[in-house]
Structure 1
Amino acid sequence: MNDARLLDIELFQHFADEHVRFCDTDALGHVNVGVYSSYFAAGRAIFDTMLASDDYILPIARIAMDLRAEIKYPNKIVVGSLLLRTGRSSFLVGQGLWIEGKPMATAEVTHVLVDRKNGRSTPLPEPFLHKLRSLGPVCAEG
């Protein structure tokens, strides 16, 4: 992964604030690796909310995370999300976690557009692409 853009908080337009809870930590006092996914999910809520439809679902096909620094309790985390790329039937969301401006973790999440009726992936229709692009500039199309 290692997309340097994901370290630059200035590129992000959508943010969510999260707090590290004591129960998020392991026996060594670090945030458990599994909890990072929940922080990233909270950051993607804007995409899930804006793109919700009775016709489609947006399952995740892939998540890749890079943990860059230890996160400990207590802390306030800023989660940023941006649209990296659109494909034929999928789109890639880039994310970053920061504490006081320091990058702590990054992720790339691939969502696939699935037709609710037949349960199969389907090409991104123009109205859906329009909604998706309204969430911010896409960094690459493909």
Structure 2
Amino acid sequence: MDYAHWDEMPTRWRDNDVYGHLNNVVHYELMDSVINRWLISSAGLDPTGGASIGLCVESRCSYKAEAAYPAVIRIGLRVGRLGTSSVRYELGLFEGERLLAEGEFTHVFVDRRTRRPAPIEGGMRAAMERLVVA
């Protein structure tokens, strides 16, 4: 459970599928939401007006255990790799101490207008460096 940042999100009634557990897409929603909430609150991302934006170019999720509504999911976040214009986030989803899923998202930061890779610099890079766990 070596994660540099933790967040919590409650599940919603609609998150359960016909099989009575959280649908697989909910895990991706939770991970994407935690990453972007952290980027906005801690790394200075301006999603609607900033010069650069992060585009997801790869994601994966490995499911370990079921969960169902109602539940509060704890999400651990760390940076597994920080490149010039890309970052790989690693996440763990937990209900209490029980590991539900592990996932990764890779963002490439690009210029908002040209969509060409843009370096991760300044405060955003410093914030991401704080999430690197050895």
| Coarse TM-score class (shorter-chain normalised) | 0.7 to 0.9
* Deviation >6 Å, runs of 4+: none
List per-residue Cα deviations over 1:7-57 (Å, max 9, x = no partner). Answer: x2xx11212211122210111101111111111122211124424142100
1:21 corresponds in structure 2 to 12
List per-residue Cα deviations over 1:65-109 (Å, max 9, x = no partner). Answer: 111111112211101111111123201111010011111001111
Contact 1:51/1:132 (CA < 8 Å) preserved in 2? Answer: no
Report the residue type matching 2:63 in the other structure. Answer: L
Q: How many equivalent residue pairs?
A: 129
1:4 corresponds in structure 2 to none
Equivalences for 1:30-109 in 2 at 5 Å?
30-44=21-35, 45-49=37-41, 50-53=43-46, 54-109=50-105
Q: TM-score, normalised by structure 1?
A: 0.81
Consecutive unaligned residues of structure 2, counting only runs of 5 or more, are none
Consecutive unaligned residues of structure 1, counting only runs of 5 or more, are 1-7
Point out the more displaced range, 111-120 or 43-52: 43-52
Identity of aligned residues (%): 26
RMSD: 1.8
Contact 1:114/1:120 (CA < 8 Å) preserved in 2? Answer: yes
1:122 corresponds in structure 2 to 118
Q: CA distance change for structure 1 residues 16 and 127 in 2, over 3 Å: closer, same or farther? A: closer
Q: Distance in 1 between matches of 2:8 and 2:79?
A: 19
